[in-house]
Chain A
Amino acid sequence: MSDACSRHPVPDPCLAARALSARGAPLFGLMLLLAGGFALGTPGFANPVNLAAISRDAAVIGILGTGLTLVVLAGGIDLSCASVLALSASLMAVLMDRTGSIALPVLACLATAALLGTGNALLVTRLGVPPIVATLATLSLYRVQAMKMVTLISPLPPGFSRLGAGWAAFAVFAAVLTAAALALARTPWGRHVYAAGGNPSALRLSGVSVGATVGWTYVASGLCAGVAALVASATLNSVQGNMFPGYELDAVAAVVLGGTAITGGRGGVAGTALGAGIMAVLRNGLIVAGLDVYWYQAIIGMAILLTGGLDVLISRGRLLRESIR
């Protein structure tokens, strides 16, 4: 499959293959293995309520990760996504607190998130600030603003928390995932995103603005963070300015675990979803099994190293075979 892909810069039918990448099946298997292990070894893990809790955790990381995947595919990175989540949730909570309504604050949350994402886009594409620097800066700027705006607003208007109950969060995640996957596979913009990361000069030569393509990925990432904000706030039934600190790294881990190349051009949202699933299962499993939850970070680190290393070795092996042929 990848042989055909390497002959054409950005062919359509290959995108599906690229999206899942060689890692899809092993990842899915790993997740099943983990889940199965915990289910057999720990009472209470396979309990439907617990599974719903896992799905909520996976949803927040997964939605953030989906937006982040778009950015990374186009060759960039967005470390500010958790801060965008916090700031848009804070604004929403303030409005909810003042007016008691739900619809308007929700819209404001999404609009703010998209706006914050646009801020990133402008820094990167118009002002020429390297993505890692730009989003590091906005990570601080947005997060501090959220903390200045809201310490704690709780509870949120009744009815809103239904978004956080049971499997609702996961349903939202599935919707976001589907939308992103369709955008990547079926729209011209999706193809441009892959090209911007994998072969930007070819894209430019075909007359498409690389800057605009990349810029829109940051806006999309912001928007995803806004959706994640809705889900997260509903789950907690409260909003704190310092909610979910450091989750941007969880999101990056999900993307990287899922097989999307950090340099761009290869990978997809399906992998990220699996990455998020694995992380949620692992975290919950450790707690329920009574193990030291601090193992979580170390294990995730090892997993990224192993999967990344394996990827490199496998592709080297393939190159070797091809050159021999």
Chain B
Amino acid sequence: MKRTAGTGALQSAGSLVILAVLTVYFSATRDGFLDAGNLLSLARQYSELGLVAVGMTLVIAAGGIDISVGGTVGLTGMLLGVLVVHNGWDVLPAAVLALAVAGCVGALNGAAVAYLGMQPVLVTLATMSLTRGAAYVLTGGVSLSGYPDGFTDFAAADLGGTGIPLPAAITGAAFVAGAIVLRRTAFGRAVLACGASPEAAGLSGIRVRRVRFATYLILSLLGGAAGIMLTSRVSTSFADAGRNYEFEAITAVVLGGTSLSGGEASVLGTLAGVCTMAVLRNGLSLAGESDLTRTQMLAAALIAAVLIDNLRRRLTA
């Protein structure tokens, strides 16, 4: 069945509705929700996940999936720690090397899926195990701290005194870039075409395998960047970093209206999805609700978003 690639204004409707409802509700009932400091702090907390979610949107748009990116986040952070804390490297070269390793993981994923033809779930399950295991093996699970102040100040910084956290600004820029790439560039159109119908895309001259490979590479690089950012914010490298990021990113992407089968995607929709998750967590936390309840509500929101999306498809079919 051939689907037309692209996205309609209503596509993100599900997540927008949920986001709007939650925002209004929490503003009215939770003291401290609408506080500027609170929202900026929230933006800072979700910066790393946001980066990963941008990349995940591209991978899913092209018809694939990647459950290994959380492991990449952890591995990158641990590698950075081993180089800087254990071996006295300067932060910048260490970060470049760690990022390169993240790129290698993405290349491995991309090559196995696009060129070897293996199933994405299979490959990324394997690399998830591999990267997470490697992150643990590097120090036997012991976390590393003792970074130079300049590095840890980076994530605590604001954008030129405006109060906007630097990590959030970077992630915001990534979202904007992602949206432009997906909508306005040939690459982005190729990504959507591959997801909608690889055969048709191939016939119209798109190098499907190369495009798919690229999406996995981009996601892992973004994951590596997230790992470095997280390490700076927490001022510690720990092997568990990024755990569950892949599932949270997929949740954000699905909440944002992107189709899991590919071909229909919206980076800004994913942004709405991330915001929804952040707002939900914060609203519940401000009321002292346990982390457990938030997890359940997020699961319910995910199902609700899919059902709304199904309804939309049925109505506009």
Binary per-residue interface labels of chain B (100-120) against chain A in the complex, 1 for a CB within 8 Å, 0 otherwise? 000000000000100011110
Interface residues on B, range: 35 or more
When distances are taken between beta carbons in the complex, the residues of chain A under 8 Å from B180 are: none
When distances are taken between beta carbons in the complex, the residues of chain A under 8 Å from B122 are: 256, 262, 304, 308
Total CB contacts across the A-B interface at under 8 A: 122
When distances are taken between beta carbons in the complex, the residues of chain B under 8 Å from A127 are: 303, 307, 310
List the 10 closest A-B pairs by CB distance, nearest first: A298-B133, A297-B133, A301-B129, A301-B130, A294-B136, A304-B126, A140-B299, A137-B299, A305-B126, A301-B126
Given contacts A137-B302, A253-B125, A297-B136, 9 further A-B contacts (CB under 8 A): A129-B306, A130-B260, A133-B254, A139-B299, A249-B129, A252-B125, A297-B133, A304-B126, A305-B126
Which residues of A are at the interface with B, using a C-beta cutoff of 8 A?
77, 123, 127-130, 132-134, 136-141, 143-145, 147-148, 249, 252-253, 256, 261-263, 292, 294-305, 308-309, 312-313, 316
B24 contacts partner chain A, Cβ-Cβ < 8 Å: no
Given A144-B292, A309-B112, is A295 in contact with B307 using a C-beta cutoff of 8 Å?
no
Per the bound structure, the CA–CA distance linking A302 and B130 in Å amounts to 6
Which residues of B are at the interface with A, using a C-beta cutoff of 8 A?
65, 112, 116-119, 121-123, 125-134, 136-137, 140-141, 247, 250-251, 254, 260-261, 292-293, 295-296, 298-300, 302-303, 306-307, 310
- Looking at chain A's contact residues, the main secondary structure is helix
Minimal Cβ-Cβ distance residue in B for A147: B292
CB distance from B63 to the nearest CB of A (A): 13
Per the bound structure, the CA–CA distance linking A218 and B115 in Å amounts to 33
CB distance from A318 to the nearest CB of B (A): 14
- Looking at chain B's contact residues, the main secondary structure is helix
CB distance from B301 to the nearest CB of A (A): 9
Determine whether the beta carbon of A301 is less than 8 Å from that of B296: no
When distances are taken between beta carbons in the complex, the residues of chain A under 8 Å from B118 are: 308-309, 312
CB distance from B258 to the nearest CB of A (A): 12
CB distance from A314 to the nearest CB of B (A): 12
Determine whether the beta carbon of B132 is less than 8 Å from that of A297: yes
